[in-house]
Chains A and B, each alone.
Chain A
Amino acid sequence: MPVKVPENRQVSPYFMLFIIYGIQVGIGVLSYERVLAEEIGNDGWITILISGILMEVILWMVYRVLEKNGGDLIDIHKELFGKWLGGLFSVIFSLYFLTMSLVVMRTYAEIVQVWMFPHLSYFAIAGMVGGTAYTFVSGGFRSIMGICLLSIVYSTPLFISLFFPLPYVHYENLLPMFHHSPLAIISAAHQMILNFIGFEVLFLAYPFIKQPKKAKKWGYYAIYLTTMLYILLFIITILYYPRRQLKGILWPTIEIWKIVDLPFMERFEYIGITIWFFTILPNIALSLWAASRGFKRVFNINQRITAILMSILIYVIGFFLNSRDDIDLLNAILSNIGFGFLCGYVPFLFVLQSIVYKVKKRNGKT
């Protein structure tokens, strides 16, 4: 029997937009321009566009897999792989989300340390971030949806900051267009997809959405929105920096805020990074929720207890990752798993499920 969620814990269809946008836009937005500049430079926007289209296709597959089954990923795993193997896969899936929340929290703590408070210890920052995220998780899925919505509202003022670099843009930087081989453009897409990962959370959140058929279009809109945001930000960055300089900048999006010159404020980065807290909060809350939800569904334990244990776990592990190399490595590992999951495992599930259903149907008929 697929899982059923009582209606008083479900959310309206359009919240699909906030789930996906909320978990996709996070820590990667601050630095993806550098990665793309290293790989292909001015043609990067084509890569983003291609990745965006690919993600729409993957989202379609996710929808199909979920619709056919009617439950969540745990049900699908059970159906396709049986109780034990399926359960194992589900636990791995949960741990993947746990790593995601760890990466986001640790990277944000590092940014706060580098840019704002060099003397502030990791424990204080992570305690603040993790504690807030946990309160939302313990409030249940609907309160997480609340912070997803608010994060979009709170972060809109940041769009104003994109007007400040405009006097310094150089349109020549986009030329010559299509300068790179199609192969290079596509291989860079591998790097770009990392900024789209996270929407796999749908595998667990799907039963929480009322009238899921109506919600589908909001999912496609969300990925469209993320793609457009990435392209806009990338174009501004590439017009603002020469490529050689961009390659050496760790967080180009934050560096752009340095040009913001307001009469009442000397350093806009402080505002930007503070507002960014609300952008990463849904990231951490949703992935923490997904991790604990996975454990709940597999082992049938209270989600609040797993959530608090998991927050403490990532809080402690985060402390031991203190060099930038560790954080980079962790980011790279997570990105590769995310890439493999989205572009490998999801299509695999899709194909496997349709084969299994076909076989079942044939057996049923005869």
Chain B
Amino acid sequence: MEKLKRMAVALSSLLLLVGCEQPKVVDDIRIVQALGYDYYDESHILGTITTPIYAHTGGSGQVQATADTYSVVSHIGRTLNTLLESRSEFPLEIGKLLVILYGKDLAKGGLFPYIDVVNRNPDVGRTISLAVVDGRAETILNHKFTTDQLVSAYLNDLIQHNTKASFPKNNLHEFLYSYFGDGMDPFMPLLKLKQHHVEIEGIALFKGDNYVDYLPFEYAYPFKMMFESFNDGSYEVPINRNHYMSITNISSKVDYKVENASSNRPIIYINVKEKGFLRESSSTMQPKQNIKEIERIMERTLEREGNQILEMLKKLGVDPLRLGDKVRSYDRGWSEEKWRAIYPHVTVKLDVRTTLAQTGIIE
């Protein structure tokens, strides 16, 4: 009996704990899935959010989400929340944020204040996609896309899908890593609205948190190959002016070596090893006989494009490939200032080795 009484007291005291925290019912909040920031004027920014709205569609039971998008103009340095809340009939929740877009004009002036807000918020994950928009973020977020009713899911899928095949890995964590890390600069995808589709125009390059320039999308693959090791890439080898061969399922490994790290003329060796499968080629070029030649063409093309990228990065003085970090790991006396000074004259030797195997169903 005594035991029973004690148990009852213990259990009923649990009831006291109920209701302390504000419940958040899914129907009574607005889940922010995409955020956009644009330059408005010298002291104001334009913030845009989209939230999905789930409404019942008759008896089918299927719930088709539609996007609700709205923008507010806010003074620089103020958080957008209060103003955005004033437009929303339900509290805004940021926990399921997928994409953040930044207008190019805003990005030129430095993005860190806008990223820091997200960084400090414990509700936001680290795998969300960031992107710069050539044009205005607001335009993209307000656009109705035919494929997906939700622009946020559409953009996130677009970026993530490309990241798998031919675009370097990027998300909030990668951006913060490169932003905070010594001897490196961050990058983001650069998006552009083309009629009814958004396309990735290239890699937006940053110096610190300021947008400086971009690499066109054709260079994304050679950039990725120097940036990280990966599986399942794809690339098109230009055999001649109007003939391309598509290589799929490429697994690529990159390896860095640094010589004379502590001197003023360090030499960085980038060795890339690629293994891929040959697909889609017309009979004009017999792949079986010429596989060695195709390998050579691919090596030469990638080396040439890679070197063009390196030249461009050095000229701009930005280091998204994290070369400075590679040198740092070999040099005890490394300092960021010293590295920035010698970076434009640094020697980088790129070596690409390719092995191809043939697939396809016709001999």
Residues of A within 8 A of B104 (CB): none
B176 and A258 form a contact (CB under 8 A): no
Q: Are A245 and B125 in contact, CB atoms less than 8 angstroms apart?
A: no
CB-CB under 8 A from B122, the residues of chain A are 114-115, 269
Assess whether A244 is interfacial by the CB under 8 Å rule: yes
Complex formed: what's the CA distance from A175 to B327 in Å? 10
Q: Which residues of B from 168 to 203 have beta carbons under 8 Å from A?
A: 173-174, 176-177, 180-182
The closest CB in chain B to the CB of A246 belongs to: B180
A172 vs B324: C-alpha distance when bound (angstroms)? 11
Number of interface residues of A (CB under 8 A): 30
B325 interfacial by beta-carbon distance below 8 Å: yes
Q: B17-25, B35-43, B107-115: which lies at the A interface?
A: B17-25
Given contacts A168-B174, A259-B173, A267-B123, contact A175 B17 (CB under 8 A): no
Check A124–B17 contact: CB distance below 8 A: yes
Set of chain B residues within 8 Å of A127, measured between Cβ atoms: 17
Q: How far is the CA of A258 from the CA of B322 in the complex (A)?
A: 24
Partner of B21, one of A119, A242, A255: A119
Which among B20, B176, B326 is the interface contact of A121 at CB below 8 angstroms? B20
In the assembled complex, A329 has its CB within 8 A of some CB on chain B = no
Q: B96 contacts A266, CB within 8 Å?
A: yes
Residues in A whose Cβ lies below 8 Å from that of B177: 168, 170, 241-242, 245
B332 within 8 A of A: yes
Q: Is the CB of B126 within 8 A of A258?
A: yes
A261-B125 CB under 8 A given contacts A170-B325, A172-B329, A266-B95: yes
Q: State A127–B15 Cα separation when bound (angstroms).
A: 13
B263 interface hit (Cβ, 8 Å): no
How many angstroms between the C-alpha atoms of A284 and B332 in the bound complex?
43
Which residues of the other chain, B, contact A214 by a CB distance below 8 angstroms? none
How many angstroms from the CA of A172 to the CA of B334 in the assembled complex?
13
Asked if B17 contacts A128 (CB within 8 A), the reply is yes
Chain B CB within 8 A of A9 CB: no
Are the CB atoms of A175 and B127 closer together than 8 Å?
Answer: no
Q: Which residues of B contact A258 (CB under 8 A)?
A: 125-126, 173
Chain B residue nearest in CB terms to A247: B180
A176, CB-defined interface residue at 8 Å: yes
Which of A173, A243, A245 makes the CB contact (< 8 A) with B176? A245
Q: Which residues from chain A contact B173 at a C-beta distance below 8 Å?
A: 168, 258-259
Chain B, residue nearest A259 (CB): B126
- Collect the chain B residues with CB atoms within 8 Å of residue A115's CB: 122
Residue in B182, B326, B331 whose beta carbon sits within 8 Å of that of A244 in the complex: B182
Q: Which of A115, A135, A244 has the most CB of B within 10 A?
A: A244
Q: Tell me how far the C-beta of B159 lies from the nearest C-beta in chain A, rounded to whole angstroms.
A: 15
Taking CB atoms and an 8 Å cut-off, the chain A residues in 243-273 that contact chain B are: 243-245, 255, 258-259, 261, 266-267, 269
Report whether B125 and A266 are in contact in the complex, using a CB–CB cutoff of 8 Å: yes
Residues of B within 8 A of A170 (CB): 177, 322, 325
Which listed residue (B20, B127, B325) contacts A119, Cβ 8 A?
B20
Binding site for A on B (CB under 8 A): 10, 13, 17, 20-22, 95-96, 122-123, 125-127, 173-174, 176-177, 180-182, 322, 325-326, 328-332
11 contacts between A and B (CB under 8 A): A117-B21, A131-B13, A170-B177, A172-B329, A175-B329, A176-B329, A242-B181, A245-B177, A255-B126, A267-B95, A267-B123
